[in-house]
């Protein structure tokens, strides 16, 4: 299920959720993370709000398409603990330099663990969920779909998780810039920023180069000869690798069924059709 996310940070978030919830129920929510399902999405003060489109079900007497209000409320880290985290990260050049450049180090969670904290959800006390649907299980399909939507948002902005835990990106970078090491790095980064200078042309003008004593034969054929035999490129061991790299539910796929299964049926149809012609 971690393949639903494109970046390592989004995958880490899904892996953390998988350890705390039922994997089977979590997988049911993948189709509910698409834009066609989530009609409204908003994040405010560490809480994720969404309105998710449900399904009609005549068996249960649901004849009109329902709309469910779904919420994920993340437990914020206290200001005192955030101050300790900032002081620790501000003392390490490898961390603070990447954070000031809007990058998330892959070992960031290890630094939280040093202080007995977690940035990613580590227990069920780190977040609370609710949904207006009649499903009593947790997570329901709509909450699970919202998990995957949050992971997709983390793909675009990994600093979002800092905000969900109580410290927005601007405040984080401002506090890091106030540390002694952060002040030195911030001064260096600001010194490198220079205003753009106008140019007379868009492209570099060609410059003449002196001609060396090179024969016409060497000029056209080269000094090194091609090898007598060339290695034949081996085919990919995975069939339809480009299709499978997109995953079951790529961004452009707004249907509820699997994209890979549809493409497999299409390939089988094409193969059968061509065999009949032969």
| Tens digits of residue pLDDT in 24-34 | 778 778 888 88
* Average pLDDT across the chain, whole number: 82
The pLDDT tens digits for 55-76 are 877 666 777 888 999 999 999 9
User: Per the confidence metrics, is the pTM higher than 0.85?
Assistant: no
Average pLDDT, integer, range 74-81? 92
Q: What are the sequence ranges of the domains in the chain? A: 2-187, 241-273
For residue 138, count CB atoms less than 10 angstroms from its CB and return exposed for 0-12, middle for 13-18, buried for 19 or more: middle
Has residue 45 got a pLDDT over 70? yes
CA–CA distances in Å: residue 38 to residues 30, 35, 60, 65, 107: 12, 5, 23, 13, 32
Has residue 1 got a pLDDT over 50? no
Average pLDDT, integer, range 163-188? 85
The pLDDT tens digits for 202-255 are 788 888 877 667 777 777 877 777 777 777 777 666 677 777 777 788 888 888
């Amino acid at each position: 299920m971690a393949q639903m996310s494109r970046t390592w940070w989004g995958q880490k978030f899904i892996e953390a959720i998988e350890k705390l919830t039922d994997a089977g129920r979590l997988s049911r929510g993948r189709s509910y993370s698409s834009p066609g399902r989530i009609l409204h999405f908003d994040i405010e003060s560490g809480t994720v709000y969404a309105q998710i489109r449900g399904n009609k079900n005549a068996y249960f007497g649901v004849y009109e398409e329902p709309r469910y209000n779904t919420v994920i409320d993340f437990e914020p880290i206290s200001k005192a603990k955030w101050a300790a985290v900032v002081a620790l990260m501000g003392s390490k050049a490898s961390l603070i330099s990447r954070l000031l450049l809007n990058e998330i180090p892959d070992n960031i969670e290890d630094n939280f663990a040093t202080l007995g904290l977690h940035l990613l959800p580590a227990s069920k006390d780190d977040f609370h969920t609710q949904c207006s649907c009649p499903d009593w299980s947790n997570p329901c399909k709509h909450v699970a779909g919202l998990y995957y939507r949050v992971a997709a948002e983390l793909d675009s902005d990994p600093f979002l998780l800092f905000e969900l835990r109580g410290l927005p990106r601007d405040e984080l970078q401002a506090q890091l810039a106030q540390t002694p090491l952060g002040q030195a790095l911030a001064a260096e980064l600001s010194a490198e920023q220079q205003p753009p200078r106008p140019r007379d042309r868009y492209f570099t003008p060609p410059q003449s180069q002196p001609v060396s004593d090179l024969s016409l034969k060497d000029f056209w054929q080269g000094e090194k000869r091609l090898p007598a035999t060339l290695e034949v490129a081996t085919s990919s061991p995975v069939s339809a690798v480009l299709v499978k790299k997109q995953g079951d539910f790529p961004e452009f796929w707004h249907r509820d069924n699997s994209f890979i299964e549809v493409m497999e049926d299409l390939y089988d149809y094409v193969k059968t059709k061509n065999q009949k012609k032969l």
